[in-house]
């Protein structure tokens, strides 16, 4: 399946640390051309090279030599002609003279033209740096000097230049050079305030102990502060080592995330290519009122450049994975809510989540001055996570765990497995535990309203859910406590809860935890909090129970069990795989992507099964089927979210009407469903049976 990544709001960019020699301009030019050719072969027509890369940064007083400067201009002309052949764009560093001053410049070359030249503003002149000896700052440009003559062209010149990609109006490039980023007020901040979504830095940053981490954090931080992509290219080992060493450390960051970087201290040229998401950056800015309130007083000249299409193969389930079919060059996580980069990072995040959840519950306990809470325990994932949060909160407050009143309420579809897990878990944790069988009460209710028990419809299911909520609420009155809600973010987005049943509580601790993260947290507790290393046998047994709960199919258990006593009603058979829905939730609610983009990203994310993060491979028809189902459910079920109980926000997504998400309950999904249908036709995808 082929697609032009620009139709997804993506632009392929690269940063390069080319092999070079000091003052050997022709050698450096040829190495730059070789890297441009490599970039073209990988579908990357936009490359950023280091500061003064045509001459090398460490020429020192050779910058005074007209021969060196003339050679640089000849190479700029040669690169300009070469860019026409490749239809590509490159930004290279070179010394440029104008009206008796020499400037350290970034030369923006595109498709056979020099589009503009941006001089450096902040010139380091301390420690090992002596730039003010050779160069003038952009602040020293005479007011009348808006253009210069370069390579037979009249070229815009100045620090007030921004470069707009033709056909992608939100892709605006701002350029700064090395020390500009390290200044207290980098020029890129002003550029970003004036629309620049891609910031590039041509650098010659030498290596010192510890500097690599600081540089990486600085680039990522600037990309976050400016809500932009930040492309940082730095000089490599070919620079002079008379006094200092360079490593060729290049970085591509996007809104605080490190998309990729090059190896350091390599003998050969290094290149890092990634697809940056211009649409995501634009959506972030639109959503942020802080960005809208920035000062736009400085005026910029906008210059247009072009890039050819970059078509990529989007791998789908069943394809053979090969090195030549790279697909989208950015990591698309199938489980975006789960960070499993390392065991240490996993543990840190899980602890943080529990701290946020317990902090919210602690405040509520203190406010209502209660020593008692009531929670319905089903032996399923959500109620288990909520129960673990309750235990942590009570332990922190040094309250008696008997104040946690856990009630299991077996109904018409409850299996022995979940019932026993619920009871064993509560007893081994030392809580107050009760079993209240609801079957007789539900049958009486069926009789009252004339509902046949053999008719397994929505009334059959909801009657049980509402009976359980009635018990919990009344029991909370009895013990002078309040009810803890257990529903998670995924269920709330899908409306997979009974209105005024499990939809209702006094405080919901899981309301912004998606299902994939619920499973992750419970499994983490089983291994870390209640693992085999625990001295207390009951606590070790808790870990065993938690693992079995994680392995139990997700089900509300409202329909009768199978003939062998196992769960017959599997939630994902009805609403779809939660791993898919959580992917949809993240990309729709966090980034506000269109159905087409969500679908195509999902193709890439779910092309292959991955046992390490429990990713399943899904074919296009299945992905599109459940995406359509998601939109339908999300829109039709908003009325349930409009009156959610209080619940703490944990991650970047929450759907409380008092917090992140405001939506009319009677909004129509037609626009989104029509786009799903258009995608089905565009890629000739047959309907999968619902």
The set of catalytic residues is: 51, 120, 178
Pairing of strands 10-17, 2-4: unpaired
SS3 string, 196-240, reads CCEEEEEECCECCCCHHHHHHHHHHHHHHHCCCEEEEEECCCCCC
How far apart are the C-alpha atoms of 448 and 120, rounded to whole Å?
82
Separation between Cα atoms, residue 383 and residue 29, nearest integer Å: 64
Of 115, 287, 299, residue with least CA distance to 195: 299
Which residue is listed with tokens 């890439």?
Answer: 604
247 and 264 Cβ atoms separated by less than 8 Å: yes
Question: What does the buried/exposed string (b/e) look like for 317-356 if buried means 16 or more CB atoms within 10 Å of the residue's CB?
Answer: bebeeeeeeebbbbebebbbbbeeeeeeebeebbeebbeb
Q: Extract the tokens encoding 604.
A: 């890439």
CA distances from 20 to 94, 241, 344, 367, 426 (A): 13, 13, 40, 67, 68
- By CB atoms closer than 10 A (0-12, 13-18, 19+), residue 240 is middle
Q: In angstroms, rounded to a whole number, what is the distance separating the alpha carbons of residues 51 and 55? A: 9
Is 2 in a helix, a strand, or coil?
A: strand
DSSP string, 120-184: -S----STT--GGGT-B-GGGS-TT--EEEETTEEEEBSS-EEEEETT-TT-EEEEEETHHHHSS
Q: Cα torsion for 74, 76, 78, 83, to the nearest 10°?
A: -170
Instruction: Report the largest interatomic distance among the alpha carbons of the chain, rounded to a whole angstrom.
Output: 100
Q: How far, in Å, CA of 73 to CA of 165, rounded?
A: 25
3-state helix, strand, coil in the chain (%, to 5): 40, 20, 40
Those residues whose C-beta lies under 8 Å from the C-beta of residue 618, and which sit 6 or more positions away, are 317, 577, 580, 602, 606
Letter string b/e over residues 203-230, b meaning 16 or more CB atoms within 10 A of that residue's CB: bbbbbeeeebeebbebbbebbeebbbbb
Q: Provide the terminal-to-terminal Cα distance of the chain, rounded to the nearest Å.
A: 24
Residue 189: its H or E element: helix 187-193
Q: Is 686 helix (H, G, I), strand (E, B) or coil?
A: coil
**Per-residue DSSP letters for 31-74?**
HHHHHHHHHHHTT--EEE--TTTTT-GGGGGGGG-HHHHHHHHH
Residue 58 Cα to chain centre, angstroms: 39
Separation between Cα atoms, residue 241 and residue 357, nearest integer Å:
54
Do residues 231 and 15 lie in contact, with contact meaning Cβ atoms separated by under 8 Å?
A: yes
Q: HSE on the CB side for 42, CA within 13 Å?
A: 22
Paired sense of beta strands 2-4 and 311-313, if any = antiparallel
Alpha helical stretches, state H, 495-536: 515-524
């Amino acid at each position: 399946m082929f697609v032009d990544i620009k139709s997804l709001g993506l632009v392929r960019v690269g940063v390069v640390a080319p092999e070079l020699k000091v003052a050997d301009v022709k050698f450096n030019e040829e190495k730059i051309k070789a890297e441009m050719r490599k970039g073209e072969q990988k579908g990357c027509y936009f490359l950023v090279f280091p500061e003064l890369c045509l001459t090398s940064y460490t020429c020192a007083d050779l910058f005074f030599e007209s021969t060196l400067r003339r050679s640089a201009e000849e190479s700029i002309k040669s690169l300009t002609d070469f860019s026409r052949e490749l239809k590509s764009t490159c930004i290279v560093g070179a010394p440029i003279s104008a009206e008796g001053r020499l400037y350290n410049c970034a030369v923006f070359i595109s498709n056979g033209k020099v589009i503009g030249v941006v001089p450096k503003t902040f010139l380091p002149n301390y420690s090992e740096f002596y730039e003010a000896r050779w160069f003038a700052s952009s602040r020293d440009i005479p007011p009348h000097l808006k253009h210069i003559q370069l390579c037979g062209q009249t070229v815009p010149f100045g620090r007030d230049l921004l470069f707009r990609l033709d056909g992608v109006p939100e892709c605006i490039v701002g350029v700064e050079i090395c020390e500009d980023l390290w200044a207290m007020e980098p020029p890129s901040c002003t550029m970003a305030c004036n629309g620049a979504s891609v910031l590039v830095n041509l650098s010659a940053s030498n290596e010192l102990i510890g500097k690599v981490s600081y540089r990486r954090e600085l680039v990522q931080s600037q990309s976050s502060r400016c809500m932009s992509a930040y492309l940082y290219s730095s000089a490599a080992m070919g620079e002079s080592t008379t006094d200092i060493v360079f490593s060729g450390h290049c970085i591509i960051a996007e809104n605080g995330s490190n998309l990729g970087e090059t190896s350091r201290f390599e003998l050969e040229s290094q290149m890092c290519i990634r697809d940056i998401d211009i649409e995501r950056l634009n959506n972030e800015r639109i959503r942020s009122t802080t960005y809208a309130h920035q000062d736009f007083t400085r005026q910029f000249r906008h210059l247009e450049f072009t890039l050819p299409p970059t078509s990529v193969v989007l791998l789908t389930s069943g394809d053979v994975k090969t090195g030549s079919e790279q697909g989208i060059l950015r990591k698309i996580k199938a489980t975006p809510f789960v960070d499993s980069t390392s065991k240490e990072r996993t543990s840190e995040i899980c602890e943080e989540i529990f701290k946020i959840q317990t902090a919210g519950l602690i405040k509520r306990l203190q406010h209502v001055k209660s020593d008692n809470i009531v929670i319905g325990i089903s032996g399923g994932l959500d109620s288990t996570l909520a129960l673990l949060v309750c235990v942590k909160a009570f332990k922190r407050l040094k309250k008696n765990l008997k104040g946690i009143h856990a009630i299991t309420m077996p109904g018409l579809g409850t299996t022995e497995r979940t019932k026993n897990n619920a009871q064993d878990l509560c007893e081994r944790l030392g809580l107050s535990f009760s079993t209240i069988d609801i079957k007789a009460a539900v049958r009486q209710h069926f009789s009252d309203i004339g509902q046949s028990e053999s008719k397994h419809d929505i009334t059959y299911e909801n009657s049980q859910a509402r009976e359980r909520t009635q018990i919990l609420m009344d029991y909370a009155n009895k013990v002078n406590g309040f009810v803890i809600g257990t529903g998670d973010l995924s269920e709330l987005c899908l409306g997979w809860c009974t209105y005024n049943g499990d939809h209702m509580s006094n405080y919901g601790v899981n309301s912004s935890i998606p299902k994939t993260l619920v499973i992750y947290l419970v499994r983490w507790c089983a291994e870390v909090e209640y693992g085999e290393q625990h001295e207390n046998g009951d606590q070790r047994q808790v870990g065993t129970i938690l693992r079995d709960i994680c392995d139990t199919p997700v089900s509300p258990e409202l329909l009768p069990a199978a003939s062998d006593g196992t769960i017959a009603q599997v939630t994902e058979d009805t609403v779809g795989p939660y791993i898919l829905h959580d992917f949809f939730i993240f990309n729709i609610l966090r980034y506000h992507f269109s159905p087409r983009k969500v679908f195509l990203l999902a193709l890439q994310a779910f092309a292959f099964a991955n046992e390490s993060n429990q990713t399943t491979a899904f074919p296009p028809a299945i992905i599109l089927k459940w995406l359509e189902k998601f939109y339908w459910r999300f829109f039709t079920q908003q009325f349930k979210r409009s009156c959610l109980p209080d619940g703490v926000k944990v991650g970047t997504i929450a759907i409380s009407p008092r917090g992140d998400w405001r939506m009319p309950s009677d909004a129509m999904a037609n626009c989104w469903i029509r786009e799903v249908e258009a995608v089905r036709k565009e890629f000739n995808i047959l309907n999968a049976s619902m």
